[in-house]
Amino acid sequence: MRWSLQVFNRHGRALHKCFALDEEPTPAWQALAKAGNVVPPAFTQSMPREERPLPQVPELAAEWAAMSDVHQFFGLLRRHGLERREANELMEGHFTRSLPPRAAEDVLWRAAEQRLPMMLFVASPGCVQIRTGQLVMPERRGDWLNLFGHRFTLHLDVMAITHVWRVFKPNRDGGVTSLEAFDAEGELVLQLYAERQEGRPERPTWRRLLEGCQTQEAVA
């Protein structure tokens, strides 16, 4: 038997799961579980995301270019009422580049082969999990790409990824580049960055890796 604490949103969708390493939960674990079950859960039906025309934001490019810290990006989205996917579409050819859906899997394979230290941001509506370090070689099982590392496991449904973007954000150190993968609903699934220390420029090997994806797309 495995003991776990599981968090769900109001629609009954799993957001986060914590599994106990001990065969019997500790008193602290039991107290936390008890505190989380004081009020019986009540779920509501989720509604499909409403489609809307792509907003036009003439000043977006100038504000994007003026960023000095990547965290300013969240404020930029809020000011203009944009979703991340919409901002990427608007900045296509300026700060973003659309890539084929397979690019997410390709980049994970190539980063593992090159032993490139990475930062993985795995998103859900309730939390973002971050993992930093070198990647183990992925294993493909059906539609799932799996990374089985020491104290780290990633299960990525690659068939659920419908849009991938190469995204550049300016900062004081010369800017950072990420790969962002989205599902059909426009929700962010995965972000990939090269591991980087504050105050140091981005790794050239990471930029070359992403540029290679664009070259492959052009050839195809």
Instruction: Identify whether residues 101 and 168 lie together within a single domain.
Output: yes
Q: In the 3-class helix/strand/coil scheme, how is the chain assigned residue by residue? A: CCCEEEEECCCCCEEEEEECCCCCCCHHHHHHHHHCCCCCCCCCCCCCCCCCCCCCCCCHHHHHHCCCCCCHHHHHHHHHCCCHHHHHHHCECCCEEEECCCHHHHHHHHHHHCCCCEEEEEECCCCEEEEEECCCCCEEECCEEEEEECCEEEEEEHHHEEEEEEEEECCCCCCEEEEEEEECCCCEEEEEEECCCCCCCCCHHHHHHHHHHHHHHHHC
Statement: residue 94 has pLDDT above 80:
yes
Structure token pair of residue 213: 């994806």
Reported as a single tens digit per residue, the pLDDT across 12-64 is 888 888 888 888 888 988 898 888 888 888 899 887 778 889 999 999 999 99
Is 52 a member of any domain?
Answer: no
Length of the chain: 220
Residue 31, SS3? Answer: helix
Q: Model's pTM, two decimal places?
A: 0.83
Is 120 a member of any domain?
Answer: yes
Is 91 a member of any domain?
Answer: yes
Instruction: Identify whether residues 89 and 158 lie together within a single domain.
Output: yes
Q: What is the pLDDT of residue 217?
A: 59
Is 55 a member of any domain?
Answer: no
Is 53 a member of any domain?
Answer: no
Q: What is the pLDDT of residue 2?
A: 81
- Tell me what the mean pLDDT of segment 61-89 comes to: 97
Is 47 a member of any domain?
Answer: no
| Residue 80 confidence class, pLDDT cut points 50, 70, 90 | very high
C-alpha gyration radius of the chain = 20
Instruction: Identify whether residues 31 and 64 lie together within a single domain.
Output: no
Reported as a single tens digit per residue, the pLDDT across 117-176 is 999 999 877 788 899 999 999 999 999 999 998 888 999 999 999 999 999 999 999 999
Instruction: Identify whether residues 31 and 71 lie together within a single domain.
Output: no
CATH code for the domain in which residue 173 is found: 3.40.1570.10
Instruction: Identify whether residues 64 and 164 lie together within a single domain.
Output: yes
Tokens 């890539």, residue located: 99
Q: What is the pLDDT of residue 186?
A: 92
Instruction: Identify whether residues 27 and 77 lie together within a single domain.
Output: no
Instruction: Identify whether residues 169 and 128 lie together within a single domain.
Output: yes
Owning domain of residue 95: 60-219
Cβ atoms within 10 A of the Cβ of 202, count?
A: 19
Domain total in the chain: 2
